[in-house]
Amino acid sequence: MKEDTFLQNASLKALLATFANAKPCSDGYIIESSYKSSKYGLYALTEPIYNTNNKLLSTYTDLPFRLNKTKHQFVIQSRSSCDEFFARVYQRILQKRFETGISDDAFEDAILLSFFALRGSPDFKMNFYSLDLLRSVVSKKYLDNLFKLLTNLSDLRQLNLNFRELQEQFVSGENKRNTQFRINLRYFNDRVGAQLAQINQYKADILQKNQSIIHDKNIAQENHKTFVDRIIFYTVTVLKQNKTEREIKQLRKELGFAYNQEIDNQKKRNQGIVQYVRVYFPDECAACKKDYAISDRSFKYRHSQRYYMEVHHCICFSADSTCDQIDNLVKLCPSCHRALTKNRADESYQRGLISKIFENAPTAKQFCLNFVTDENQLIDFVYQRLR
């Protein structure tokens, strides 16, 4: 299938599966799902099992996968570079999400299944479900879009990058394996384990057989380096940068690879990206920062030098699809945020605030541009979707 035809007609699940699993091939790009027999499985893999899983995967993605020995494959004919191809796929994911009106919960499940169901595998000892990020695909641009996509997940504490580049075998050149992207096994099992059978019955049966092992593990893990910290750190300091042995040692020391396996039920909390924005974005209003000092629009917390700010969704798709994606979020002062409630302030005033947000927050503007064909339509598009 040609790239333009694919992008125009592919389902949201197919687009997510492509972003997570496609890699370059002679004809363009190939989505591939491969797996081997596991010692944790109930039975050995056979040709009928592979055929059954091929039908499941084809039905789930609505793509005609072909079984090539033990690999499920679908080819997209393309001449685009990796960065161009995956940028187009990413944009269509955003557009398709808007078009379908999928809920936040369903979108999160689709992301997890698309990344981990096709190529991932459980690590019962380390309590992870893992897959490799392919070196032929990974670039700064790809990781930037990956990061933005994954900020839709509700509990970022469960995600982890295993920096292969900092492991001794990689540094010595003995084994330059792909970087691993991992999710807490117990969390993955409890959230989407039952849905795994829609894509791969063999993998679903492995989880089902080993429920006692899985439920011995913890879900929420306390760690001073969250997934967000790790992926930003990876993009800036590790990706395709050569490090000396001394630098590698220092990086390993800073990161701390081992998760704390203890859990404190009193500290469980929502680790969604809204909390990250609230803490790490600067205390300035994206709408009125050039017109007022923040001290004139808000107040400081009693025991902090931080100002009270509110997180605003530039586009809210629906009541159950708020789109907590980082580039859809900005900080506003309480006054501006309340003024942007649907039908509350004068229309011209609201449109003016939207215009100022786009002027002061270019990443938010870029996110919203994914949904219009003409930039002149942008303010009206956002205005019509105020809630």
* pLDDT tens digits for range 308-349: 999 999 998 776 677 888 889 999 999 999 999 999 999 999
Measured CA to CA, the distance from residue 169 to residue 164 in angstroms comes to 8
* Least confident span in 29-38, 225-234, 317-326, 363-372: 225-234
> Stretch 279-293: mean pLDDT, rounded?
91
Q: What is the mean pLDDT of the chain?
A: 85
Nearest-5° angle of CA 62, CA 63, CA 65?
Answer: 135
Top-confidence residue, 85 or 140: 85
Residue 253 is predicted with a pLDDT of 54
For residue 173, pLDDT over 80 is answered with: no
pTM value is: 0.83
Top-confidence residue, 242 or 68: 68
Q: To the nearest whole percent, how much of the chain has pLDDT over 70?
A: 81
> Stretch 256-279: mean pLDDT, rounded?
50
Place of tokens 């760690």: 223
C-alpha dist (Å) from residue 48 to 52, 69, 200, 202, 292: 6, 12, 13, 11, 68
For residue 307, pLDDT over 60 is answered with: yes
Residue 263 is predicted with a pLDDT of 31
Question: What would the DSSP string read from start to end of 293-316?
Answer: -GGGT--B-TTSSPBP-EEEES--
Measured CA to CA, the distance from residue 90 to residue 84 in angstroms comes to 10
Provide the pLDDT confidence category of residue 269 given band limits of 50, 70 and 90: very low
